[in-house]
Amino acid sequence: MAPSSRESRIRRATILDVAAAAGVSRQTVTRAMNDMPGISPATRERVQQLAAELGYTPSRFAKGLVQGARISLGLAIPDLTNPYFPAFASSVVEEATQRGWNVVVDDFGHGSGSGLDAVARLAPQVDALIGYLGACSSDAQAMMGRRPVVVLDYPAGQAAGGISFDYSYGAGLALQRFMSEGRRRIAYLDSDQEGTATTRGAAVAAAAAAAGIELIVGQCLDSAPAAREALRALLEEEGGIDGLLVFNDLMAAGAMKGLHDAGRAVPEDCAVIGMDGIPLGELLTPELTTLALDLRAVGRSAVDLVDNLLSGAIKASSDEASLILKHQLVLRQSA
């Protein structure tokens, strides 16, 4: 049976495609891709350039991937020990599975330390890639060639597609909540990015300035224990804080422990709002108010975007390939 036009558009480039494009034999492509002797430097460079443009990479899985009809989707995750990322990964796997796709996950936060390392591991195995790749987004797309990369939470990324989040909108919701409750000594605990503000932190600072709030800012590593210690230090330095917005829910859990350590009741003495909306927030006492993302909607949006990029329904790097999603304030007991 002949493949459908859609299957033709998403079919993985093979060694034969590269050989045909370069006007050389399959053996010459093999030599060029593996830096073997027997061909000229000019031929090697030309074959490697065409392979990159076609999105071809040698793989030990090549036979099965070329013959099989299923799409293989790569998922690059920075830290599966953070509850947000398994929840997000689960939503991607759910959406991809409904399409009959395979998903290959790489957690690059432990050992390799680089999103680009994850892309290098995934590239030989996948037809497209979704990931939290940050500043290496452009290099990731170059490594994948014509195969689409969808980058999350990095609006400046130069990839085929991107999904970012409207942190200014979310920060405004949180600050409005604090002010409506009469909170005036408001702090924000950011994730430490080598001394610079994160995208979330910059949005919170801008929203506070617009509202005339003199924001107290602290930073720490992205973990509950680090946030607990950072909150203790912040209270010692700044004294009375009656509203606290935190980089994510995991750090908010640690910050609430820090408040408890200092004898500060939540929300009576200090209201706390986290960010991301992971299930952990409902297990805390008091339950955590949070700026929540619909993680199933995020996963669905990412997989839909990959699907449309593969089929050609959306052009790579077009306005349609750049999505912005918003948080919603979920009120619970902590604020």
Same domain, 154 and 59: no
Same domain, 161 and 302: yes
Distance CA 39, CA 80 (A): 44
Same domain, 193 and 204: yes
Among residues 64, 84, 106, the one where a domain terminates is 64
Same domain, 267 and 209: yes
Phi first, then psi: give them for residue 222, nearest 5 degrees: -80, 75
pLDDT of residue 11: 58
Profile the chain (335 residues) by mean pLDDT over runs of 10 residues.
43 80 86 80 90 74 47 92 91 94 89 81 92 92 92 89 96 96 95 80 95 94 95 90 96 96 96 95 96 93 96 94 96 96
pLDDT of residue 68: 47
User: If residue 39 lies in a helix (H) or strand (E), which one and from where to where?
Assistant: none
Span 289-327, pLDDT tens digits: 999 999 999 999 999 999 999 999 999 999 999 999 999
Residue 250 lies in a domain: yes
Say which CATH number the domain at 76 has.
Answer: 3.40.50.2300
Same domain, 14 and 126: no
Tokens of 57: 């990479």
In the chain, count H helices and then E strands.
13, 12
pLDDT of residue 114: 82
**Sign of the torsion formed by the C-alpha atoms of 325, 331, 332 and 333:** positive
Domain range for 156:
71-165+295-326
- Distances in Å between the Cα of 220 and the Cα atoms of 70, 158, 196, 257, 280 are 43, 29, 11, 15, 20
Number of domains in the chain: 3
Same domain, 280 and 318: no
Distance CA 104, CA 76 (A): 9
- Provide the residue type at 217 as one letter: V
Distance CA 272, CA 275 (A): 10
HSE of 157 in the Cβ direction (CA atoms, 13 Å)?
31
Same domain, 309 and 266: no
Same domain, 282 and 299: no
Same domain, 145 and 106: yes
Nearest to 295 by CA among 100, 81, 90: 90
Block residue for tokens 């680090």:
226
Same domain, 196 and 250: yes
DSSP symbol at 229:
H
Answer for the pair 335, 179: CB distance below 8 angstroms, yes or no: no
Residue 12 lies in a domain: yes
Tokens of 117: 């390392």
Residue 174 lies in a domain: yes
Same domain, 118 and 58: no
Phi first, then psi: give them for residue 229, nearest 5 degrees: -70, -40
Distance CA 327, CA 19 (A): 48
Residue 334 lies in a domain: no
